[in-house]
Amino acid sequence: NNILIVAGLIDNANREWKREIITDNFFDADVARIFRIPLAKEPHEDVMVWRCEPSGEFFVRSAYKLLRSGIPIPTFNELQATSRGFYRKLW
């Protein structure tokens, strides 16, 4: 199975993860993490946004400037903790 984007892991008709594809293609620990990600109730187009450019497009130069600026970049765990609080309030 050739999975190119996350949308390929989602059953849009039922708004659920495609469990068989995920369990066949990911490690158990990652499967558990994926299944904990809530899905939007309504399907929508994915949008990639780089907040360091007004256009939203990613450029290596803007990533380099961000790294050189000394602004602390949050770790995965910090981002995850922030998201958890957001989803608790949302639901």
Q: What spatial distance separates the first Cα and last Cα of the chain, rounded to whole Å?
A: 34
**Tokens 């770790």, residue located:** 75
pLDDT of 14 reads: 92
* Per-residue pLDDT reduced to its tens digit, 38-48: 998 887 776 76
Q: Compute the mean pLDDT over every residue in the chain, rounded to the nearest whole number.
A: 81
Inter-CA distances, 19 with 12, 28, 59, 60, 82, Å: 13, 12, 35, 36, 26
Inter-CA distances, 87 with 11, 43, 84, Å: 21, 18, 5
Better pLDDT: 12 or 77:
12
CB of 52 closer than 8 Å to CB of 42: no
Domain range list for the chain: 1-44, 47-91
